[in-house]
Structure 1
């Protein structure tokens, strides 16, 4: 646990991607099994200990230190794990040596609601402040160190001199502490095999397009980029699973999709919900807001299945009836997909149509007219491109539609976590119900925590501190003086928000300190942007 705590501490203070890669790679090489596998899972949020909650940590501290001191310290520090690790009283006698990562995982896994208070306290008593911080982050699943699964895989590849493509291929289907994976990479054992399982295969991703480049459509095919969630449907002929872009198994959330594919194949497409969408040339897809009613549910009622029927608009085929098509050119895979689609359930699968544009200028006109369709933009795929994991330069491009913009008024702010725990970086903003001089009020329309530079973050943090008019726990209410230009992809009706609106992907586009708050946009202006 000491080495893992040192790694966590170093990652907290490392801003460089290459620096983080080197730190993780060094740790993986130097640490024995199973600790390195458990640590890797912890860094990528691959561990879950149901008995340990943030409230568990708070209750432990409340029993040992002055509750007011804890609350004041937590508010100042901005992170429960860090506050607890520093305030934890040192025991008169240390009950034992620091646990290894494997011992800590075993102990945390065995804890129940009845035993967690005593068990977690016993672990904390055996560690110093750095060790306690790492343990609490591991236990609560809130690392927030900027370590994505992709970054961890790259670090793993660098640690043992294997290709990241192979790591991507073999990683899925393995469970912590990943002993077969380490045995392959570190010891030269045969790679883990998943040929007979409906496993996830790494997605091929796209680079943002620079329109000034104007790629030749003789070399690239254009198709819609639909506004749903990217999924992979994998069937081995016996079992079918539906995976999200991050590789999470979401079959239970969309059982009708899992049940619909019986042909041994791995398909890539966009998960959507049936419905009408004004202006959608291909038709049949409702807005993202409809799909959102299905996301994140562990079980789905019959009413939900009927009201929000899901389907997959297919982009590509990776494997078909035992044949791996990924090395083939896109054109050949497209032909294979077109031949496969008629054999699939038409209620659950259809084909994403190509855009018949002959020139880039013509494609730009089509894209510009797509604001009212259930799409995010267009995709450009090189006709001779194989299907490779990750982003491959020059092969696939995404050209998202221009964002919508609205002038909103800052209403509330909350501190971030991790590196941002000392800054107010989560901002809630609103628009007017009418003329503020004639009784119009502000209603929240969105929340954003990115889009600004580091310097702008410091400026916003200072503004929040200087313009606070009220406090609600960790939230500060500000005076209604600052206008933020907010960019968002689309806006939808929502019964969950007082304003009746929900923005998709809101981000701070500009700080409009020059604009009076009463000139910010009205709710009715945003309602006019709702896609039917």
Structure 2
């Protein structure tokens, strides 16, 4: 546990991506099996220890310390695991420590019932120091926020083992913790694991943004265009009776979308955009697409009710065909894959699958004009795909480009702030902002937690601490008056109607574009400005 705790501590305090990769590679080299496999599963969120819940930890710590002291400490620290790790008082005369190697801890905890868990967790917390307690709590609650995504962990494995990350991604869903066969392959002690599972993930091909000067070097005749829709990029795979739906990062999200899974009456793998449908519109039409706010009702769910599926049915707008039957099509040119895809989609349920429409053009200025007035609010931009390009995992420069609409900009007023996570847990770094109504009151229109430098973060944090007017647990309400407050210039991609927000609006991808220390809050934008953007 001590080595795993040291890894988490270093990852939390290390902002640089390459440095995180080195830390992970060093850990994989030094830690034995099965410890490193369980650590990898924890980082990639594939480790499940259902016997331990946050409420149980709160009950445990309430037995060891004053509840008021714990509440004040939790409010200040802002993280349950860190608070418990620091405040925990070992029981007097605690027995000999259990085996605290990571592999042994995971093996023991995985067998626990909920009735057995409190005593076992308390014994481990008694035996560990504060950093190791923190690691244990993060391990059992699945709350690892150390700035490492599942894909970054796979990239660290690939770099350490000297293989392409796509080789790991293609077999990942056929493997299980503690990944002994995977580590044996990467160390050259065994051949590459060949999982027998069907419907595995195929690493996705990504586009590069259009940069100044790019189009001058590209021939319009070499590229096909289609709209870029505001949904989520997914891959649907059906093989040998197994049907799966993956996110673009390779996470299996099948359980959240059984209505689409049921309609996957084909053999192969399709790349496309998951969207909410409006049933009254014809398949293939722009009007068929619901808002991202509606799609959000279906995201990040382990299960979904029949009522929710009926209110927000989903469909796939197909972009590409990666496999048909047992044939891998990724080496074929885009035009050939597109023709095969069009033929396949015609045989599928039109309520659940349609083909992404081509956008005809002869010159780049035609695309620019189309992009200035797209036929639907849910269109984010245009995808440009080289007609002769194979489907290459990753982000190769040249075959695919995304040409996005310019973001909207508004001036909003900071209203609430909350502490962040990881290395930002001591700073107020998550911000809720609002605009003025006609009656002269502020209503929240969005939240943002990036778009500023570390120095700017320190300045905002000082402002929040110096201008707090109310406290709501970990949230601080700050001074926000016509003549006193902080104005934030916010960039965002679009707006939707939302009954969940007091303003009636929800922003897409809001981020802080600039800090307007020079601007008085009374000059910030008004709600009617945003209303006009909706038409």
Unpaired runs of 5+ residues, structure 1, are: none
The CA distance in 2 between the partners of 1:288 and 1:25, in whole Å, is 38
Matches within 5 A, 1:346-361: 346-361=350-365
**1:508 matched residue in structure 2:** 512
**1:155 matched residue in structure 2:** 156
Unpaired runs of 5+ residues, structure 2, are: none
**2:24 matched residue in structure 1:** 24
**1:206 matched residue in structure 2:** 207
Q: How far has the Cα of 1:188 moved from its partner?
A: 4.0
Q: 2:433 aligns with which of 429, 435, 452?
A: 429
Does structure 1 residue 229 correspond to structure 2 residue 232? yes
Structure 1 residues 176-234: Cα deviation after superposition (integer angstroms, max 9, x where no partner): 21223223222443333346601222111122221432133233322111111111110
Structure 1 residues 110-142: Cα deviation after superposition (integer angstroms, max 9, x where no partner): 334333221111111221222111111111211
Q: Contact 1:98–1:126 (CA<8 Å) still a contact in 2? A: no
Q: 2:374 aligns with which of 365, 370, 381?
A: 370
Q: Contact 1:170–1:181 (CA<8 Å) still a contact in 2? A: no
Q: Contact 1:95–1:125 (CA<8 Å) still a contact in 2? A: no
The CA distance in 2 between the partners of 1:196 and 1:293, in whole Å, is 30
CA RMSD of aligned residues (A): 2.2
Flag the 1:482–1:259 CA change in 2: closer, same or farther, 3 A. same
Structure 1 residues 159-182: Cα deviation after superposition (integer angstroms, max 9, x where no partner): 222222211211123222122322
The CA distance in 2 between the partners of 1:261 and 1:75, in whole Å, is 48
Q: TM-score, normalised by structure 1?
A: 0.93
Question: SS at the partner of 1:446?
Answer: strand
Q: Contact 2:97–2:124 (CA<8 Å) still a contact in 1? A: no
Q: Contact 1:171–1:181 (CA<8 Å) still a contact in 2? A: no
Matches within 5 A, 1:406-445: 406-436=410-440, 441-445=441-445
Structure 1 window deviating more from structure 2 (280-289 vs 250-259): it is: 280-289
Q: Contact 1:492–1:530 (CA<8 Å) still a contact in 2? A: yes
Q: How far has the Cα of 1:462 moved from its partner?
A: 1.0
Structure 1 window deviating more from structure 2 (395-404 vs 34-43): it is: 395-404
The CA distance in 1 between the partners of 2:146 and 2:493, in whole Å, is 27
The CA distance in 2 between the partners of 1:142 and 1:463, in whole Å, is 29
The CA distance in 1 between the partners of 2:145 and 2:276, in whole Å, is 32
Q: Contact 2:411–2:489 (CA<8 Å) still a contact in 1? A: yes
- Equivalent pairs counted in the alignment come to 526
**1:176 matched residue in structure 2:** 177
Q: Contact 2:174–2:197 (CA<8 Å) still a contact in 1? A: no
The CA distance in 1 between the partners of 2:53 and 2:208, in whole Å, is 38
Q: 1:253 aligns with which of 253, 256, 266?
A: 256
Question: SS at the partner of 1:125?
Answer: helix
**1:79 matched residue in structure 2:** 79
The CA distance in 2 between the partners of 1:421 and 1:109, in whole Å, is 30
Runs of 4+ in 1 over 6 A off after TM superposition: none
Q: Contact 2:416–2:475 (CA<8 Å) still a contact in 1? A: yes
The CA distance in 1 between the partners of 2:365 and 2:173, in whole Å, is 41
The CA distance in 1 between the partners of 2:401 and 2:76, in whole Å, is 44
**1:95 matched residue in structure 2:** 96
Q: Contact 1:427–1:447 (CA<8 Å) still a contact in 2? A: yes
Structure 1 window deviating more from structure 2 (520-529 vs 477-486): it is: 520-529
**1:218 matched residue in structure 2:** 221
Structure 1 residues 386-421: Cα deviation after superposition (integer angstroms, max 9, x where no partner): 222222222222222111222211111111010101
**1:145 matched residue in structure 2:** 146
Flag the 1:94–1:330 CA change in 2: closer, same or farther, 3 A. farther
Q: Contact 2:224–2:386 (CA<8 Å) still a contact in 1? A: yes
Structure 1 window deviating more from structure 2 (265-274 vs 45-54): it is: 45-54
The CA distance in 2 between the partners of 1:306 and 1:55, in whole Å, is 33
Question: SS at the partner of 1:106?
Answer: helix
Q: How far has the Cα of 1:107 moved from its partner?
A: 2.7
Q: Contact 1:21–1:152 (CA<8 Å) still a contact in 2? A: yes
Structure 1 window deviating more from structure 2 (220-229 vs 171-180): it is: 171-180
Q: Contact 2:171–2:200 (CA<8 Å) still a contact in 1? A: no
Does structure 1 residue 9 correspond to structure 2 residue 9? yes
Q: Contact 2:90–2:125 (CA<8 Å) still a contact in 1? A: no
Structure 1 window deviating more from structure 2 (63-72 vs 86-95): it is: 86-95
The CA distance in 2 between the partners of 1:466 and 1:49, in whole Å, is 42
Q: Contact 1:238–1:262 (CA<8 Å) still a contact in 2? A: no
Q: Contact 2:418–2:475 (CA<8 Å) still a contact in 1? A: yes
Flag the 1:210–1:94 CA change in 2: closer, same or farther, 3 A. farther
Flag the 1:309–1:9 CA change in 2: closer, same or farther, 3 A. closer
**1:332 matched residue in structure 2:** 336
